[in-house]
Structure 1
Amino acid sequence: MALQVYTASLLKEGLVAYLALENGQPSWTSDIHQATVSEEDTLDALKQAAEQSEQENIIVAPYAIDVLKTEDGIVAATKREQIRAEGPTIELPQDNLRESRQAA
């Protein structure tokens, strides 16, 4: 069976988030390593918690993704989800952009 976690976007911040269940209480984290991992056939509790969080306007568009357990922790199984978890694959020129805006 495939291992899975639930992911979504935080409604207010727009950040990628992962569902962590602690004592049955859902919380959302931007760190995939803190996500609650479940096998595909026991994913119902995560699905219900994600749907409840969506109804409460905490997150938007939750869905399950396949993950792999490695020596370094949980890693998304697909390249798309790895990029969502780790951020852009290139360094963004944020400092240069800020300087240009301030000069204008």
Structure 2
Amino acid sequence: MSVGQTIKHKTQAFKGRVTHRVGRTTRNRRLRREGRTDRVSGNLKQSGRQGQGRVQALTINAPGGAHVGRTPPGRPERPISRQESTAMKQTSVRTESRKSQS
């Protein structure tokens, strides 16, 4: 979140707190309502921006990292057919048996 946006949202929340206080002091329902809406709106905007940053950090730090939404490294781009799967298994069994014979 940019510094300008942060200041803007915090100012809106602060203005809401002040307006709500003035409305409470003067017993003016309209001012209380406006203050509450400004305060909640400013706080939601701040938390929404923070949430976006947290989600981005989670996706980058997640297993697979920046590969979220794409095929992770080491996995084929397309599904493997049964024949290819069987051939791969047979190849791995052969190499393991050769290693055990040595």
Which TM-score applies when normalising by structure 2? Answer: 0.26
* Higher relative contact order (Cα pairs below 8 Å, separated by 6+ residues): 1
Bigger share in helix:
2
Bigger share in strand:
1
Instruction: Decide which structure has the larger Cα Rg and report it.
Output: 2
Which TM-score applies when normalising by structure 1? Answer: 0.26
